[in-house]
Structure 1
Amino acid sequence: MFQGLAHLQTLQLRNNNISVIQPLTFHSLSSLQYLHLDHNSLTAVAVAEFCCSMSQLQELHLEYNNISSVASGTFGRLSQLQYLHLDHNSLAAVTDFRSLTQLLELHLNHNSISTVRPGAFQGLPQLQNLHLDHNSLTSITADFSGFPQLQELHLDHNSISTLLPAALQALPQLLILHLDHNSLTAVTASDFSGLTLLQELYLDYNNITTIQPGAFVNMSSLSILCLEFNALTALPAETHGELVPIANVYLHDNPWRCDCRLAAFRGAFTGRYMFEEQITCVSPGVFAGQRLKDLTPQQIWFNGGCTAAAIDTFQAGNSTVQLGDTIYLHCQCGAGRGGRGQSDCGERRDRSCP
């Protein structure tokens, strides 16, 4: 079909109704660098369609088709490929991109991907941008590690509820991470511990209820942190110091409960940081609609439904202890004296269970 076009560098076949590519269709296009097959009706791609004489291809556009399968090794001979667009298709799994040693950008967003098969992304040493947003992923595993040059990772608009340990720690050059619009419920101290160059972290529109102390330490380059539209009711006091170096922190639109669990965090306020302005109390009712910065820690303690912990009973045995011995106390937390409010020991119990 394309005989006599050995010097052709760009071929645009977009916006047609192409449903099948015959084997060796592009065999004679030995100088082709840019191939656009987007906005067609392809349902699958196989090895024979891109196997031969396309060693100069740099960009391949297959987005906006109906592709549901990509045969293993399909792109194996495209040794110079830098940009691959497979977004807006019907893929359910990520298979094999291991031979694309020059690939800079891989677009797999807006598919139905729920599975990333082991080794699917191995051998992509130059990859800088990976788009897996708007899919059906439920967890992040070690398959997302091992990209020494990756700078942007888009995992937003999935159903991710779990970040497995060390899943993101082998991304030494990562600058931008999108995890917004997922189902995360907690941020632990190890989730982002290896991302020392990260500049932007998007965690908004999740179901996050807990942030562990240390979640944002050793992230001196971080300038944008989005935590709005989650289920946060309180933050540890230590988190205030972790947020201070970050230029843009977004905490609004969370169901903040301004009781003893927020008192220590409020006590760290200095009035110098914008995120201190963003916490509006949703409960208890006495503080609903008020900004946390306008309340004193004392007000929160005495009017927020909390009561101080107290020892109701103490039973001592006949044992003798020496200076330096370790003793163990068994504490039972109740609702406070008189059965009203929440005791401080209850608050400590909550904070010790991430």
Structure 2
Amino acid sequence: MEEFELIRKIIPTYYRQPSVVKGVGDDAFVFRSSEDIVFTTDTMVEEVHFSRKTMDTHAVGYRALAANVSDLAAMGSRPAFYSVSLVLTPDWTDEEILALYDGMEQLAEKHSMDLVGGDTVSGSQTVVAITAHGYLPPDKGRYRSDAEDGDVIFVTGTLGDSRGGLEELMNPGESVSGHLIARHRYPEPKAEFAAGLTSLSRLCLNDISDGIASEANEIATASGVRLHLQKEKVPVSEELRNRYPDQAGEWALSGGEDFELLGTVAPGEKEALLEKARELDIRLTFIGTVSASDLPEVLLHSPQGTETLQPTGYTHLKERRKRL
């Protein structure tokens, strides 16, 4: 399929966002806004972040956009637009290419996002790079640097499921967990939840893409505080605990790619946070507290004692671990 034929097949018939002035089909995308604008970019490389041997391209497309939507969620932003740059190897079929975009569209529809541009070239290794844009009410950005002494720490959902799904795909047994595989292939970023918290005066957020051990340390460093996590309170699904009892605890801390949210909030605003979670049927768990410290760090408390939690999740450019 040549590039202009692909454009004709994927061009939107309408735009969900009224702020679009000019979308797909020109040299650039034009929009107007009276709100703050958020940009994020994420890149997936074949045989580094995914493999077509174990993941169809529909899931690849969905998951690639999910990484961007989760970043927007961590800023408290409402997702609005995305553009896609592809480097495709010659063995990609037309059906695989269209399925890739269909996967993105499945998630985009959930969040009222519009495809507004991109580029496609051929190359020796497949690369899927997406840039996403979102909106914020003025001065309502949610930053890693906003945690304060006395805050309570929370997470959405359950952690480690995506890593469990990866294990299911890499080492399939006589039976596989459809739940864990779905959590790996089709995560659910919490953008609607985060964007609905504008009534909170202050909120610190970080999305769990590399693992809570990494993300908690990012918050501690950016805010100059000490985070205290209660290991027994970190939420783990029954499916993960039952299938991988020896690894579930570790994967919950460092598995990564759950695309849930880790955050801190003042104790007086806990109820407003819980109310929004209940409204959207989102599991919310309080797992610790924040204290002042001259040495930013994360402490993990358990019945066995207290240890410093190092950033042990996936680190780009320092690891060559293959992703599915």
TM-score normalized by the length of structure 2: 0.22
Whose RCO is larger (CA < 8 A, sep 6+)?
2
TM-score normalized by the length of structure 1: 0.21
For the pair shown, the structure with the greater C-alpha radius of gyration is 1
Larger fraction in helix: 2
Larger fraction in strand: 2
